[in-house]
Amino acid sequence: MSILLLGGLLFVHLDSFIPALLGAYTLYILLGGWVKKMEAKWKMSRIIAIVIVMLGSFLMFLLPMYFVGQVLFHSHTLALDQYSSFFKAVKGFVEQIEVKYQVNLLDEKSLDKVFSWLTQSASKLINGAVNGITGIFLSYLILYFMLRERELLDKTLIKIFPLNQENSEQLLGEVNKLVFSNAIGIPVIGIVQGVTGLLIYLILGVPNAILWFLVTCIVSMIPILGSALAYIPVSILLFANHENVRGMIMLLYGFFVIGSVDNIFRIWLQNKLGDTHPLITLFGVIVGVQLWGFTGLIFGPILFSLFLLLSTYYGREFQGKEENKPSSLK
């Protein structure tokens, strides 16, 4: 009981550091193999290998993320203004239909509530992206000790699982595969769709094309709805500005090209890295964004998948013990 109380107390007061811990473990999975390779093949000391790998990852991944965070920070108000203009355009279009056909399609209060909810969610997401940059540095501090003591870390994780040795080792392997596939797959899908969207934004001369590119990258990480949360508002804004041809091109391109890229690339990536059901990703994103903002786009699905994976292994462990239990009835 005292262990649970102390653990709960620590968890409550350190919950803000959970994204940093998850980020550190994710980087540990992605970079640990390189450190091993540099030690084994190139005969480097562990400390030097860790420093090289961490600096390399910082230059390749984190500096671009820093600049993205800066753009989002400075474009925060602009992004909300763009979506405000989108909702005004939708509202005006609905009012025209209602007047023309004498029907009541949408309650004004309901539309205002939807806009308010989306504005708050977008604000939380963007603020989380900026605040997440601070957590990155803490993640790297934790990562250093994880890489330096990797044998101890692996043994400790196996001991933590209340399973037998075989199931614990299998579970750890599945967890590592899960973290790797989500950490690589989710951002890559977002970037591919963002680049695909940027091409048409530039061709059509969409205002603030770079901002819409970043928005497309972020919303594309959300399954089912995904990039439609970007290209539909863009097309409606074009229609509202009486640019009907460009608006129709944007809508058709988004539906047939950006949407197809998502489906085709997601299937290919799942075959390469591992299959994660879209509903698991969706619910994971919902939970993750509520907990941690932007970083929840990646860590939410990981936690949700991890919960299902743990449940599966616990069930296997319990079922195995029940089958091996001697029967009392003779």
pLDDT tens readout for residues 213-241: 888 888 887 766 778 888 888 888 888 78
Rounded to whole angstroms, how far apart are CA atoms 235 and 249?
Answer: 8
Q: Tell me, what's the pLDDT at 52? A: 93
Of the candidates 75, 305, 18, 13, the one whose C-alpha atom is nearest the C-alpha of residue 176 is 305
Percent of the chain with pLDDT over 90: 10
pTM: 0.68
Which of 86-95, 169-178, 230-239 has the largest mean confidence?
A: 230-239
Q: Tell me, what's the pLDDT at 197? A: 92
More confident residue, 5 or 24: 24
List Cβ neighbours of 153 (8 Å cut-off, separation of 6 or more).
28, 146
Q: What's the mean pLDDT in 46-74?
A: 75
| Secondary structure element (H or E) that encloses residue 89, with its range | helix 76-101
Confidence at 272, pLDDT banded by 50, 70, 90: low
Confidence at 243, pLDDT banded by 50, 70, 90: confident
Q: Tell me, what's the pLDDT at 314? A: 74
Q: Tell me, what's the pLDDT at 330? A: 43
Which of 89-103, 174-188, 266-280 has the largest mean confidence?
A: 174-188
Look at 6-20, 48-62, 217-231 and tell me which has the smallest mean pLDDT. 6-20
Which of 11-25, 166-180, 262-276, 292-306 has the largest mean confidence?
A: 166-180
Q: What are phi and psi of 329, to 5 degrees?
A: -100, 125
Q: What's the mean pLDDT in 243-263?
A: 87
Q: Tell me, what's the pLDDT at 250? A: 92
- Inter-axis angle of helices 46-57 and 108-148, to 10 degrees? 160
Q: Tell me, what's the pLDDT at 49? A: 92
pLDDT at 297 over 80: no
pLDDT at 167 over 50: yes
Q: What's the mean pLDDT in 110-121?
A: 59
Question: What value, to the nearest 5°, has the Cα angle with vertex 38 and ends 37 and 40?
Answer: 65
Q: What's the mean pLDDT in 101-106?
A: 59
Confidence at 329, pLDDT banded by 50, 70, 90: very low
Residue 303 near residue 175, CB atoms below 8 Å: no
Residue 55 near residue 144, CB atoms below 8 Å: no
Q: Which long-range contacts (CB under 8 A, 24 or more apart) does 138-145 make?
A: 138/17, 138/20, 138/24, 139/19, 139/20, 139/21, 139/23, 139/24, 139/27, 140/24, 140/27, 140/54, 140/58, 141/24, 142/20, 142/21, 142/24, 143/24, 143/27, 143/28, 143/31, 143/54, 144/50, 144/54
More confident residue, 201 or 26: 201
